[in-house]
């Protein structure tokens, strides 16, 4: 995992597809080089044996959301992609339908999978063909094939794959080999090894002129359907199309083992924890507190903006972490309105963290007041969590003693960093004390 740098410059975004919408979409609107229909086939009918889990990995949850939903979102947000065909096992059809509704996926068509990955992919391709069953989708010029279990795919790389496929007939992502490939004899001894620099690991996505890959699958032998692993090879064997190989980013890795699910979660958490926005309010106390927090959080490697009001905070498009400062008890209406704006302005792919920091300058809150506040926060947080927003509250008692004040401020910064980085739903609705 990369280390954070403390800098006064906003860090270059290395946010995977965590930004609100595809950055390239914004840049290329109106002059998009993709002027032909493009569709995607996502094979997702495997059982994920190597994870050792009973749930197929594509349906395992990562920060509360099924893995496949992240992958679908990565394609759906690309405006030049028309359809996403998701190929799932028959028994997962209802689950997939629920996911589509729950996460508001709009470009997806579900197709039934086959007993091997190649059979599943072919079933996906049939969704665009007269020979397929059920309603037919518009045939694309280029089809992108991508494993449902590779959630980190960015628009700029999809563009490279798509344009290369359109030009050459086929294209595929590759990565340098991590280890040398060796061939073993039947008895388990070294037969020979391959020269590592000459070989590459074939990854996904791959792009094809639809007619080429469709024809390749039509000519596929039973043995290829059963044991083959490489779509690019099918295009070469059956259509004489040599694919362009394009080196892709390391984020293209495939979730294969159980630990990869943990890594995927860590990647997402890291990328959404890089920045935060402090809503300072107008009073001197909260502005002082803001300066302190900003310095403290930046020392922890976070980029921090401080703005006077919520509206300005919302316009920071990539922020998913908000720290609202208030003096004395926050009003529930105020918190409710803030969360409503959050929901309306942002997509709910990744959870938001809202931290309401309540600076208690008067030190007069009664026990019953605190109890009332706790139940208000709890109720608001319960509702917010359904919409992927985590709300916690930190109370800081103001101290006249400067070393005690410093101790409390440091604690506040530590708690803030922990809440933002961990994004742990268990702390949603909780009031903490610094
Ligand atoms: N896949 C598919 N149909 C199959 C087998 C696999 O659509 N009959 C899909 C998987 O769901 C996955 C992708 O192909 O999205 C890559 O396959 P792999 O990583 O091998 O997934 P699984 O086959 O599910 O895992 P395992 O090999 O560990 O059982
Ligand atoms: Mg498999």
Please tell me the predicted confidence (pLDDT) of residue 1. 36
* Model pLDDT, residue 334: 80
Taking the centre of ligand 2 as the mean of its atom positions, its distance from the CA of residue 55, in whole angstroms, is 14
Task: Give the pair of three-digit tokens for residue 399.
Answer: 């101290």
Query: Averaged over 162-168, what is the pLDDT?
Result: 98
- CB neighbour list of residue 97: distance below 8 Å, 6 or more residues apart: 110
Domain boundaries, the chain: 12-267, 273-433
How much is the pLDDT for 342?
78
Please work out whether the CB of residue 43 comes within 6 Å of at least one atom of ligand 1. yes
Q: Ligand 1: does its nearest atom lie under 6 Å from the Cβ of 256? A: yes
pLDDT surpasses 50 at 338: yes
With H, G, I as helix, E, B as strand and everything else as coil, classify residue 170: strand
Tell me the CA–centroid distance for residue 83 and ligand 2, in Å.
24
Mean pLDDT for 260-281 is: 93
- pLDDT of 366 reads 63
- pLDDT tens figures, 17-28: 444 344 455 445
Residue 13 has pLDDT above 50, yes or no: no
Write down the pLDDT at residue 346.
Answer: 61
Specify which residues 353 forms β-bridges with. Answer: 321, 390
The DSSP letter of residue 92 is G
Whether 241 has a pLDDT exceeding 60, the answer reads yes
Q: What is the pLDDT of residues 46-55, one digit of tens each?
A: 999 999 999 9
CATH of region 12-267 = 3.90.550.10
So what's the pLDDT on residue 374? 82
Rounded to 10°, the helix 67-76/258-272 angle is 50
Ligand nearest to the CA of 47: 1
Counting from 1 in the atom list of ligand 1, the atom nearest the Cα of 44 is: 11
Give 66 or 131, the one with higher predicted confidence: 66
Q: Give the whole-angstrom CA distance, residue 1 versus residue 91.
A: 37
Predicted confidence band of residue 319 (pLDDT cuts 50, 70, 90): confident
Residue whose token pair is 């309540």: 358
Average pLDDT over every residue of 198-207: 97
Atom of ligand 1 nearest to the CA of 254: 19
Q: What is the pTM of this model?
A: 0.86
The fraction of the chain above a pLDDT of 90, given in percent, is: 70
For residue 2, the model assigns a pLDDT of: 36
pLDDT value, residue 9: 46
Phi and psi at 93, nearest 5°, equal: -60, -45
Structure confidence at residue 376 (pLDDT): 82
Identify the architecture of domain 273-433 in CATH: 3-Layer(aba) Sandwich (3.40)
Instruction: Provide the pLDDT confidence category of residue 363 given band limits of 50, 70 and 90.
Output: low
């Amino acid at each position: 995992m990369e280390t954070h740098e403390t800098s006064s410059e906003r860090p270059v975004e290395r946010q995977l597809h965590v930004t609100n919408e595809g950055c390239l979409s914004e840049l290329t609107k109106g002059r998009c080089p993709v002027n032909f229909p493009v569709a995607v086939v996502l094979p997702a009918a495997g059982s994920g044996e190597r994870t050792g889990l009973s749930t197929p990995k594509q349906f395992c949850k990562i920060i509360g959301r099924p893995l496949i939903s992240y992958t679908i979102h990565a394609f759906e947000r690309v405006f030049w992609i028309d359809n996403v065909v998701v190929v799932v096992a028959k028994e997962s059809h209802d689950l997939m339908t629920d996911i589509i509704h729950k996460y508001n996926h709009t470009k997806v068509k579900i197709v039934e999978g086959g007993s091997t990955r190649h059979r599943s992919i072919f079933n996906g391709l049939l969704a665009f063909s007269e020979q397929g069953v059920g309603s037919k989708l518009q045939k694309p010029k280029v089809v992108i094939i991508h494993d449902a279990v590779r959630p980190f795919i960015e628009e700029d790389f999809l563009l490279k794959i798509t344009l290369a496929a359109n030009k050459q007939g086929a294209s595929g992502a590759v990565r340098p080999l991590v280890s040398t490939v060796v061939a073993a004899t039947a008895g388990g001894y070294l037969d020979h090894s391959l020269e590592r620099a000459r070989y590459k690991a074939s990854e996904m996505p791959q792009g094809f002129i639809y007619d080429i890959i469709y024809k390749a699958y039509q000519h596929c032998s039973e043995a290829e359907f059963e044991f083959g692993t490489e779509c690019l090879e099918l295009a070469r064997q059956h259509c004489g199309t040599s694919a362009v190989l394009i080196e892709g980013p390391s984020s293209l890795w495939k979730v294969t083992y159980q630990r990869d699910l943990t890594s995927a979660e860590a990647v997402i958490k890291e990328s959404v924890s890089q920045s935060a926005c402090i809503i300072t309010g107008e009073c001197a106390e909260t502005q002082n507190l803001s300066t302190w927090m900003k310095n403290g959080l930046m020392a922890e490697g976070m980029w921090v903006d401080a703005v006077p009001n919520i509206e300005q905070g919302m316009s920071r498009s990539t922020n998913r972490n908000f720290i609202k400062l208030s003096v004395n008890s926050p009003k529930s209406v105020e918190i409710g309105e803030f969360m409503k704006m959050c929901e309306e302005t942002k997509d709910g792919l990744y959870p938001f963290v809202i931290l309401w920091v309540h600076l208690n300058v008067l030190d007069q809150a009664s026990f019953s007041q605190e109890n009332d506040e706790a139940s208000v926060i709890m109720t608001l947080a319960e509702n917010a969590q359904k919409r992927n927003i985590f709300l916690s509250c930190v109370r800081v008692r103001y101290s006249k003693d400067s070393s005690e004040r410093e101790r409390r401020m440091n604690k506040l910064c530590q708690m803030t960093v922990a809440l933002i980085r961990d994004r742990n739903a268990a702390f949603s609705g909780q009031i903490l004390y610094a």
